[in-house]
Amino acid sequence: MTHAPIPGYRYDDPHLPESPVTAGDLEGLTAATLFSDTDVAALKLAGEVLADQTEQILDVWYGFVGSHPHLLAYFSTPEGVPVDAYLAGVRRRFGQWITDTCTRPYDARWLAQQEEIALRHTSAKKNATDGVRSVPHVPLRYLIAFIYPITATMRPFLAAKGHAEEEVEAMHQAWFKAVTLQVALWARPYAGAAW
């Protein structure tokens, strides 16, 4: 089976700039989030469990954002009209992000991709990837707030394939850690030297 490339998805692009975040910075964050090899294994299993549920997960997340005008605003023109092409473009990369979170090694390339995602929330790079006219940035407070819904809504999907309760819980905790870790990385361009 082959897949069409995802527009704007640069994970394997050799021209993706390196992240200013070092391997030492990442080690400090994995320690602070208690992220360990057990979580790597649990996320690998989660990747298998979630593989054919991506569209349903995105339906839940997009339903959540779409039902809150103050959140949909970040996918809309400055005048408040939702930009369908933008919603659709982000959606494909968001689906791939679920897979990457579960299956990619958290190495220098992954850090480069996290930095790219980070910048795409800020005035440095928002809107440019999809060539859309929208508001200039996503406020940092919502990146942090979304740790809750992006974590909590995942549990039923992790439980949907009949794994034992302890396995579901291990996958869910690993997911929670991985989301928290990534939001910490995405905060970098917002905070400058105090990051």
What is the distance between the alpha carbons of residues 148 and 155, in angstroms, rounded to a whole number? 12
Q: Which of 10, 92, 104, 137 binds a copy of itself (CB under 8 A)?
A: 137
Helices then strands, each counted (H, E), the chain = 11, 0
Overall size of the chain counted in residues: 195
- Nearest CA to 178 among 106, 70, 94, 91? 106
Buried b (16+ CB within 10 A) or exposed e, 37-64: eebeebbebbbebbeebbeebbeebbee
Which one of 141, 156, 160, 170 is in contact with a copy of itself (CB under 8 A)? Answer: 141
Q: For residues 41 and 148, which CB has a smaller minimum distance to a copy of itself in the complex?
A: 148
Residue 71 found at the interface with a copy of itself (CB under 8 A)? yes
Site for a copy of itself in 116-135 (CB under 8 A): 122-123
CB of 154 closer than 8 Å to CB of 175 = yes
Q: Which stretch binds a copy of itself (CB under 8 A): 63-71, 77-85, 94-102, 108-116?
A: 63-71
Please give the residues from 142 up to 181 whose contact with a copy of itself meets the rule CB under 8 A: 142, 144-149, 151-152, 173, 176-177, 180-181
Name the residues that contact a copy of itself, by CB under 8 A.
Answer: 25, 28-29, 31-34, 68, 70-71, 122-123, 137, 139-142, 144-149, 151-152, 173, 176-177, 180-181, 183-185, 187-188, 190-191, 194-195
